[in-house]
Amino acid sequence: MTRDRSADDSDDLELTIDQFHDACQQVGRPMLTADGIARTLDRSQDAVSDELEALVDRGDLESFSVTADPIVWYPANLEDLTEQERIVVFPKRREIVVDQPTQFTRAQLSQFAHLADANGKQGYRYVVRPEDVWQAPHEAFDDLARTMRQALGQRSEPLEEWVRSQWDRAHQFQLTTHEDGYTVLEAKTPEVMGNVARQKLDEEHVHAPISDTEDWVREGAAAAIKRILYEAGYPVQDHRDLDSGELLDVDLAVSLRDYQQTWVDRFAEAGEGVFVGPPGSGKTVAAMGAMAEVGGETLVLVPSRDLARQWAETIEEYTNLGPHQIGQYHGGQKHVRPVTIATYQIAGMDRHRSLFDDREWGLVIFDECQHVPSDVYRRSTHLQSQHRLGLSASPIREDDRQTEIFTLVGPPIGTDWQALFDAGFVAEPELEIRYVPWGDDQQRNAYASADGRERYRIAAKNHGKIDEVRYLLRDHHDAKALVFVDYLEQGRELAEALDGPFLSGETPHHERRRLLEEFRRDERDLLVVSRVGDEGIDLPTADLAIVASGLGGSRRQGTQRAGRTMRPAGGALVYVLATRGTREEEFARRQLQHLGRKGMTVREQTRGQVGSNETADSDN
């Protein structure tokens, strides 16, 4: 494995093959003279010539004589210039750019850096953020520094210095349990207690000081303290002695994939966390691995009763637990058992809250945990448990409150999407934005005279999209297809035009189950689905997804809909329809650029008329 030196390192060591490759890249030639490499690296020609000979002796370079210059130098294996793994570090920006990274490198980087962009042609761009350092799965900073050096193939002192400062911040405060049973906030020094905690917290959170470095914590205020200090840049280590409830022996009926086992191991080390991975990566199964690891009574919180039912069925299928050990608590039924699946809304209601408070859970699982920061859902994070685990394909929020997810639940744990694509665990769907002309002049004129939200609604319900959907379904006649809409009226029109069912929030629960099972068993190859399919139900995977409307929604919604085609078999397609010349074009690019940064291929195409190409724009 060969690697680049840091872009900020000075050239005060002997010449390496990595520097030679870097010089070749800069001048755009695979061969260099001693004078050429000396100028490129700002070194003396005499010193460079001796070091080039040393590289020849080691077998890294070869040379030959020409008339214009005594010697020309080139790599012993010219393929190294294009196929080698190359890493460049930018400490001031805390960015790492990687070309041709190996699985090992990506796995190491994911422990302390965030994958910001993944483009196979332009490389991978990682950013080291404070929260990435705070959640690094290491007991000591030296262990983290060793991981960084293994990933980068070098030591970047400026970057390590910044990472150490963030590591120190993450170990300034801890919550502990006093021998008398109450909770204590403890600071590392009197200075940080006085200048940070006692400036940020008030009587709602802590009692009078116990000492210069300790404060009593008011009952129920621990979560608020963690959030406030986290926002101040000081995450709190939670070392309270929480009861785990009754023991529960959970055995998995399936083997975890290697990356799922890694997620579970990191969760076990931290005691909390958020599994972050694309749809189809098996977060639910990994969560059951966490249940087995904890071995205690478990509460699973979900957005809807449909998901509660699906969780109950999945737990029964993949573990040794029987129906008498699995309960559901929502509007349809109310049973509290060793493993209970409840909706967020029910768990947050005062009249039901005591049922969950009276039981000391070993583990609370927050499914679709990107909702947790919202006012309705966050009350559920106050439930007492020894461990907490979140699941999310895309822990982002349009209100930029995503950091609260990790404050309230735990640090992010996951594998970058591109690594799962490359390993074949999850299929990489092809995404294409198709710009559709207006279906009739009446809608076009209505759009021109409307403004605000009404304009968006008219563009979303463009009748021209019905013909476009028909064309795509004909073009992929063997595919199982999901068609997504945001408007009930549009969904009914599409379902009627396509002679297929429309699944929405108005569809009775028994009818939803029947339609989904038929689709899952290949007895039905088309469903038109409203927003209820984004997160409220567990849709089966499909070969083809068509987003007819919904482009004004969140980036998370785009992720969920694209994710309905992700499965190991591959070959899936996602088409996003946007009315040409409207703001839908901007919304489409915003949603799909987010997916493009995760490593998916995104194309754009404008169609003059249904069934014929007008122009093929550009790949994102």
Name which of 325, 327, 266 is nearest 293 in CA terms: 266
Q: Considering only 273-287, 507-521, 549-563, which range has the smallest mean pLDDT?
A: 549-563
The 10s digit of each residue's pLDDT in 161-172 is: 999 999 999 999
Over residues 477-484, mean pLDDT: 87
The crossing angle, in degrees rounded to 10, of helices 441-449 and 452-460 is: 160
Looking at per-residue confidence, does 114 or 286 come out higher? 286
pTM of the entire structure? 0.51
User: Is residue 8 within 8 Å of residue 156, measured between CB atoms?
Assistant: yes
Q: Considering only 283-297, 333-347, 570-584, which range has the smallest mean pLDDT?
A: 570-584
CATH class held by domain 258-418: alpha beta
User: How far is residue 559 from each of residues 90, 283, 448, 531, measured CA to CA in Å?
Assistant: 30, 15, 31, 13
Percent of the chain at pLDDT exceeding 70: 74
> Residue 2 pLDDT more than 60?
no
Over residues 38-64, mean pLDDT: 78
| Tokens 């090992």, located at residue | 104
pLDDT band at 578 (very low <50, low <70, confident <90, very high): confident
Three-point CA angle 436, 439, 443, nearest 5°: 110
The 10s digit of each residue's pLDDT in 365-388 is: 999 887 776 666 666 766 777 888
Which tokens is 540 given?
């089966």
Name which of 21, 32, 408 is nearest 223 in CA terms: 408
CA 411 vs. chain centroid, Å, equals 12
Percent of the chain at pLDDT exceeding 90: 26
Angstrom distance (rounded) from CA 328 to CA 340:
6
Residue type, 564: R
Looking at per-residue confidence, does 279 or 143 come out higher? 143
Angstrom distance (rounded) from CA 163 to CA 148:
10
pLDDT band at 567 (very low <50, low <70, confident <90, very high): very low
> Residue 482 pLDDT more than 90?
no
Res 28: pLDDT: 58
Q: Which CATH superfamily groups domain 427-619?
A: P-loop containing nucleotide triphosphate hydrolases (3.40.50.300)
State which of 32-41, 166-175, 246-255 shows the largest mean pLDDT: 166-175
Angstrom distance (rounded) from CA 75 to CA 95:
28
> Residue 552 pLDDT more than 50?
no
The 10s digit of each residue's pLDDT in 204-225 is: 999 878 999 999 999 878 878 8
Over residues 7-32, mean pLDDT: 63
Res 299: pLDDT: 93
Please name the CATH architecture into which domain 17-82 falls.
Orthogonal Bundle (1.10)
State the chain's mean pLDDT as an integer.
Answer: 78
The 10s digit of each residue's pLDDT in 66-104 is: 544 456 666 655 544 455 678 888 989 999 988 877 767
Res 593: pLDDT: 64
> Residue 564 pLDDT more than 90?
no
Three-point CA angle 523, 529, 530, nearest 5°: 160
The 10s digit of each residue's pLDDT in 296-344 is: 899 999 988 888 988 999 999 999 999 999 999 987 788 889 999 998 8
Residue type, 19: Q
User: Is residue 506 within 8 Å of residue 571, measured between CB atoms?
Assistant: no
> Residue 595 pLDDT more than 90?
no
Angstrom distance (rounded) from CA 551 to CA 462:
13
Angstrom distance (rounded) from CA 63 to CA 65:
7
Res 540: pLDDT: 61
Same fold? 258-418, 427-619 = yes
Q: What is the DSSP string of 405-418?
A: HHHHT--EEE--HH
Res 301: pLDDT: 92
Dihedrals phi, psi of 113, to nearest 5 degrees: -140, 155
> Residue 520 pLDDT more than 60?
yes
Looking at per-residue confidence, does 542 or 128 come out higher? 128
Q: What ranges do the domains of the chain cover?
A: 17-82, 85-169, 173-234, 258-418, 427-619
State which of 31-35, 121-125, 224-228, 588-592 shows the largest mean pLDDT: 224-228
